[in-house]
């Protein structure tokens, strides 16, 4: 049994301009103890996908799925009460902005022991002892004295450690880290990533690492899911994906990495992620894709098994017949046409 099973998940937000589809047909399996990297540009639906799994989609968002289960429990039919017993205990989440993610009016100790008392039924004394242990485990110096500190008295890096301590307090089976290092200094980023990876190995917990940084994924994940405009574009093992990306979007993201781009210039992908109004009829990446054809502009590719994983493109980069097919389908992208 997989730890997480998601089939055909979609999340929609009604807005003034119409219905915004933030997540579109995402399917995903995660085994126990597995590390999954989720990458994609801003607005590609990474956070919303994971918030849907946590049951945290804000009103008036709508969640639909053929299957949404965690550790064998069906999350589509679960009661609010049972759901709250899972969230924060078996599945926990940490966020991008550690300082605003902690409540400014309560001490670190209060916020940390709150989880322990709720889910583990500890009394105040026991919870405080455990909180000190946890703060020590996440590398906070003199943890006893930090219990009475308020978030504004700690640095961003320290606050993120507090968030991590809070998240791992009840030994979750799955930890979702939503861009846990984006808001931090570069040196601190590396420390926090190290900490997360160490904790993951020690506790063998499942870890979803959301990031828009391919470098972070390369350092952490065994498997990578690339998202674009609410859809999965490519999903394969990290080694395969970095060695030979199959989707033009993945290839473009990799080319944007500083150490891969030629001449030291940072390559960027021209154009922007489609929004509510400019969502293409065919392949969602076609307006920006160098290999787009008339066919991909009109017919949306399905997610299909490919090269040990899944891909959503008519012309995978590793397909030997690719050029012929592109030529046959009337190329319109810059690369394909030339």
Partner 1 sequence: MLRFILTRVSLIIPTFIGITLLTFFLIRLVPGDPIETMAGERGIDPARHELLRKEYGFDRPILVQYGIYIARVLQGDLSKSVITQAPVLDEFLALFPATIELAVCAILFALVIGLPAGILAAVRRNSIFDHGVMGISLAGYSMPIFWWGLILILLFSVQFDLTPVSGRIDVLYYIEPVTGFLLIDSLFFSEDEGAFRSALAHLILPTIVLGTVPLAVIARMTRSAMLEVLGEDYIRTAKAKGLSRFRIIALHALRNALIPVVTVIGLQVGVLFTGAILTETIFSWPGVGKWLIEAIFRRDYPVLQGGVLLLGIVVMTVNLLVDLAYGLINPRIRHTR
* Shortest Cβ 318–ligand SF4 spacing (Å): 13
Residues 1-30 that bind ligand ATP (CB under 6 A): 13, 15, 20, 22
Which residue, 179 or 234, has its beta carbon nearer to partner 1?
Answer: 179
- Tokens 């307090």 found at: 169
Give the start-end residues of each E strand in the chain.
4-15, 18-30, 35-39, 62-64, 67-70, 73-74, 91-94, 174-178, 206-210, 223-228, 231-237, 304-306, 309-311
Element (H, E) at 166: helix 156-168
Q: Does 242 bind ligand ATP (CB under 6 A)?
A: no
The reply on whether position 89 binds partner 1 by CB under 8 A is: yes
Residue 10 contacts residue 64 (beta carbons within 8 Å): yes
**Tokens describing residue 190:** 């590396």
Within a 10 A sphere around the Cβ of 327, how many other Cβ atoms?
12
Q: Determine the Cα–Cα distance for residues 265 and 279; give it in Å rounded to an integer.
A: 30
Per CB under 8 A, 205 contacts partner 1: no
Nearer to partner 1 among residue 22 and residue 163 (C-beta): 163
In angstroms, give the least distance from the CB of 334 to ligand SF4: 11
Residue 47 binds which entry of ligand SF4, partner 1, Mg ion, none, with Cβ cut-offs from 5 to 8 Å by kind?
Mg ion
Answer for the pair 131, 116: CB distance below 8 angstroms, yes or no: yes
**Among the listed residues 174, 196, 315, 331, the single contact to ligand SF4 using CB under 6 A:** 315
Q: How far is the CB of 244 from ligand SF4 (least distance, A)?
A: 16
> Which x/- pattern over 75-114 shows residues binding ligand SF4 (rule: CB under 6 A)?
----------------------------------------
Of 37, 43, 245, 274, which lies in the binding site for ligand ATP, with binding defined by CB under 6 A?
Answer: 43
Cβ–Cβ under 8 Å, residues 234 and 310:
yes
Task: Identify whether the C-beta of residue 34 lies closer than 8 Å to the C-beta of residue 3.
Answer: yes
Residue 283 interacting entry, from ligand ATP, Mg ion, ligand SF4, none, C-beta within 5 to 8 Å by type:
ligand SF4
Cβ contacts of 326-334, under 8 Å, gap ≥ 24:
326/291, 326/293, 329/293, 329/294, 329/295, 329/296, 330/293, 330/294, 330/295, 331/291, 331/292, 331/293, 332/292, 332/293, 332/294, 332/297, 333/286, 333/289, 333/290, 333/291, 333/292, 333/293, 334/290
Q: 24 to 63, contacts with ligand SF4 by CB under 6 A?
A: none
**Residue 141: both structure tokens together:** 């110096």
Q: How far apart are CA 134 and CA 8, in angstroms?
A: 37
Ranked by CB distance to Mg ion, the top (closest) residue is: 47
Q: What is the distance between the alpha carbons of residues 304 and 313, in angstroms, rounded to a whole number?
A: 9
- Measured distance CA(129)–CA(143) in Å, rounded: 10
Residues of span 30-49 touching Mg ion by CB under 5 A: 47
State the binding string over 264-303 for ligand SF4 (x if CB under 6 A, else -).
Answer: -------------------x-xx--x-xx---x----x--
The minimum distance between CB 157 and ligand SF4, in angstroms, equals 38
Name which of Mg ion, ligand SF4, ligand ATP, none residue 101 binds, using a CB cut-off of 5 to 8 Å depending on partner kind. Answer: none
Interacting residue with partner 1 among 106, 123, 185, 215 (CB under 8 A): 106
- Point out which residues bind partner 1 (CB under 8 A): 54, 56, 83-89, 92-93, 95, 97, 100-106, 114-115, 118-119, 150, 152-153, 163, 166
Q: Which residues bind to ligand ATP, rule: CB under 6 A?
A: 13, 15, 20, 22, 40, 42-48, 58, 61, 212
């Amino acid at each position: 049994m997989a730890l997480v099973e998601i089939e055909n998940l979609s999340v929609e937000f009604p807005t003034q301009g119409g219905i915004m589809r933030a997540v579109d047909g995402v399917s995903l399996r995660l085994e126990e103890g597995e590390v999954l990297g989720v990458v994609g540009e801003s607005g590609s639906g990474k956070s919303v996908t994971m918030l849907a799994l946590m049951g945290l989609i804000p009103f008036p968002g709508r969640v639909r799925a053929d299957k949404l289960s965690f550790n064998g429990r069906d999350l589509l039919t679960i009661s609010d009460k049972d759901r709250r017993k899972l969230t924060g205990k078996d599945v926990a989440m940490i966020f991008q902005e550690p300082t605003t993610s902690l409540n400014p009016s309560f001490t670190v100790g209060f916020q940390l022991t709150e989880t322990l008392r709720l889910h583990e039924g500890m009394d105040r004394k026991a919870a405080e002892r455990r909180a000190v242990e946890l703060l020590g485990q996440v590398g906070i110096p003199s943890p006893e004295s930090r219990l009475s500190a308020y978030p504004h008295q700690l640095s961003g890096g320290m606050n993120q450690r507090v968030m991590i301590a809070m998240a791992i307090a009840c030994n979750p089976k799955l930890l979702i880290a939503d861009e846990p290092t984006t808001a931090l200094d570069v040196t601190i980023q590396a420390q926090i990533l190290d900490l997360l990876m160490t904790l993951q190995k020690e506790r063998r917990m499942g870890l979803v690492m959301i990031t828009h940084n391919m470098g972070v994924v390369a350092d952490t994940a065994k498997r990578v899911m690339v998202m674009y405009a609410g859809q999965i574009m490519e999903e394969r093992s990290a080694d395969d994906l970095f060695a030979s990306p199959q989707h033009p979007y993945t290839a473009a993201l990799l080319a944007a990495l500083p150490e891969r781009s030629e001449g030291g210039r940072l390559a960027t992908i021209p154009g922007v992620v489609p929004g509510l109004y400019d969502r293409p009829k065919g392949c969602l990446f076609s307006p920006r894709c160098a290999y787009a054809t008339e066919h991909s502009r009109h017919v949306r590719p399905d997610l299909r098994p490919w090269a040990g994983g899944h891909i959503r493109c008519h012309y995978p980069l590793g397909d030997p017949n690719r050029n012929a097919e592109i030529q046959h389908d009337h190329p319109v992208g810059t690369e394909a046409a030339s």
